[in-house]
Structure 1
Amino acid sequence: MLMDKDDNYWIPALMIDHKHQGKGYGKAAMETLIQFMSNSSCTRIMIGHRPDNLIAGRMYEALGFLKASEEVIDGEIVRLLQIC
């Protein structure tokens, strides 16, 4: 995890080996990270994914991540999860 100047916590990457994709490991890992980060001082989690990675985009949306912008930044769609 990385924190930026706006107190956003970034997950630089979450990758599951292609042999193990589609088994729910990515979602389980994200749920665990979100829970862990919720128990800290973190209030916003940021993550990016390539525009052509529709599966990752749908998973992040299902977990509550919203697009931070319609603009693609450094080749990625940036998503934000607000933790209350």
Structure 2
Amino acid sequence: MAEQIIAGRSTPKSSRRTRGAASVSPTGEDARDLLEIKLAQLNSLLWCCYGDGNGWFEEAGEKHRDHMLWIAADLAREAERLLGESGRG
């Protein structure tokens, strides 16, 4: 039987919390919750790129490296925006 894997917080229950930046900006507690999720995603992505030093990132190829860094930049920008929104709640 497979073991259960628990990896932090589950995905958000509300689609409202996963909408893009074009939707209504979350404030207060919602922004803090979404910020926590985005930072966890960014942390995991960057760990895959560099964290364990296994060389996988270098072997992924230029196109995939570029796309992964693009994702990381988007997550960082979204986290920065959410940090500002969380202070306005």
TM range (shorter): 0.3 to 0.5
Larger radius of gyration between Structure 1 and Structure 2: 2
The structure where strand makes up a greater share of residues is: 1
Which one scores higher on RCO, CA 8 angstroms, separation ≥ 6?
2
TM-score, structure 1 as length reference? 0.32
The structure where helix makes up a greater share of residues is: 2
